[in-house]
Structure 1
């Protein structure tokens, strides 16, 4: 299994936190040489059937057909050079040092991720609430709000990023979720046809229809296939190449009863995909 296959789905299931699995020893030693700080144990792990990771509430999972979906977080290790250090470090953070992994934890990209989270909370419709996480959440409980800015690749000398946020949406004791994902232009090759684009979201399939919003054509999966982690999602490619996905699900996790009704109608979900608030550049 190569990096392209791991990154094909980009994101895995938003699941309860589990102890993170090991990273590559070589990659960790490279980071240690740069930062000269490492206080956690490192184990080597190799597998081709399935990979499971947990990073800030995101987990990679293998679906029944064998595809593996990679969450944001520690990406595939960079090959070491002759000195044993990484030949190509992660992007430089605001402190002038390379990041420890794909995730931005400060700086402009991090701020973009925070802004995406704010805008996602702002779209929660009347009649629903967007509960925030308690100061000390119970162990193993899924995060109610989360965001991530992730470095994807360097294309023609330019770093490309994606952004992902998940917000719990509650109505009484019932809880679902809304997810927004944004990919910068040129992050990876994606189809232009609206429904084909929608089918690329997490590699999921389903019954899709094209919704017209003004002059825009938006692909909306209105009913998932056998992979039913989410109930509906829309996808839109802006003229400048930025791609936006907006998804909704009746269920957040196994600990809470699910919503009886999705927060948005299909036309509303399509309209949100073209909303300029999610058009990160």
Structure 2
């Protein structure tokens, strides 16, 4: 089985998975979708498709240049009907046809994802580099720069999206990463700064509120039992857009970890407020 066949098989498996019926409406459905979002996000830090398949069975996504990327995505919008189609179509792509899944691979949302990636690269501090992926990179190798635009839900007739980008950050032969995730206004994430921060990917930890100008930013300075990331900040803009900025000293198991995180706690808080990440 070649790489493309593997990806097709994984997508087929994901499309056929039917979630159990919710115990109640509204909040339960949202919670279930976001829990699935977090479970898939766990595997964003794994560099091997084989590990993802063997351990989780969750789908991977091929980027437009045919590399493999493990995004923090959700499952189907609704359980498939008897024909195998979702009950509600995905958003319409630039070709006038519904997307094949939650991920935009072209169009304005995709472009916002690319823009976010470029902005994250631009904030890598002096003393660190943001290495690029080599040409002709093997499809099963962990990518150093990734981005994704993902449809979340239709709220009051308006499509709501989230945008995720991960950038490897190196110092000498040591490599960590920086992640930025942005949610459109209209999301149902918490409002209180530390509740918002602790909601990121379902991770908990020791949180403190940092003041940046007039803004109050929740920053988890020390994670709990979940060590996927070392620190992250969270801010809800007045218009409802939510920005998460996270950093981890270790990119994956194949590379030595950074000795020092790229950003201090105040810097991490300031980045969550930074207008460069305020996608609208």
TM class, shorter-chain normalised? 0.7 to 0.9
Is contact 1:9-1:201 (8 Å) kept?
no
Give the corresponding residue for 2:215.
216
Change (3 A) 1:217 1:82: same
Shift of 1:16: 1.3
Aligned to 2:37, the other structure's residue is in SS state: coil
Pair 1:90 & 2:90 matched: yes
Pair 1:5 & 2:32 matched: yes
Change (3 A) 1:83 1:202: closer
Give the corresponding residue for 1:64.
none
With the length of structure 1 as denominator, give the TM-score of the two structures: 0.80
Shift of 1:214: 0.4
- Residue segments in structure 1 that go unaligned for 5+ positions in a row: 23-48, 60-70
Is contact 1:176-1:258 (8 Å) kept?
yes
Aligned to 1:98, the other structure's residue is in SS state: coil
Pair 1:57 & 2:73 matched: no
Shift of 1:191: 1.6
Shift of 1:190: 1.8
Change (3 A) 1:180 1:83: closer
Is contact 2:133-2:145 (8 Å) kept?
yes
Change (3 A) 1:234 1:21: closer
- Residue segments in structure 2 that go unaligned for 5+ positions in a row: 1-18, 21-28, 62-67
With the length of structure 2 as denominator, give the TM-score of the two structures: 0.80
CA–CA distance in 2 between the matches of 1:184 and 1:218? Answer: 18
Shift of 1:186: 1.2
Shift of 1:202: 0.3
Match for residue 18 of structure 1 among 45, 49, 74 = 49
Change (3 A) 1:51 1:193: farther
| Deviations 1:212-251 (CA, angstroms, capped at 9, x unpaired) | 0000000000000000100000000000000000000000
Shift of 1:58: 1.7
RMSD: 2.2
Aligned to 2:152, the other structure's residue is in SS state: strand
| Deviations 1:79-98 (CA, angstroms, capped at 9, x unpaired) | 45576644311000000000
Give the corresponding residue for 1:258.
257
Structure that is richer in helix per residue? 2
Give the corresponding residue for 1:190.
189
CA–CA distance in 2 between the matches of 1:87 and 1:10? Answer: 20
Give the corresponding residue for 1:242.
241
Give the corresponding residue for 1:149.
149
CA–CA distance in 1 between the matches of 2:35 and 2:80? Answer: 24
Aligned to 2:268, the other structure's residue is in SS state: helix
Is contact 2:233-2:269 (8 Å) kept?
yes
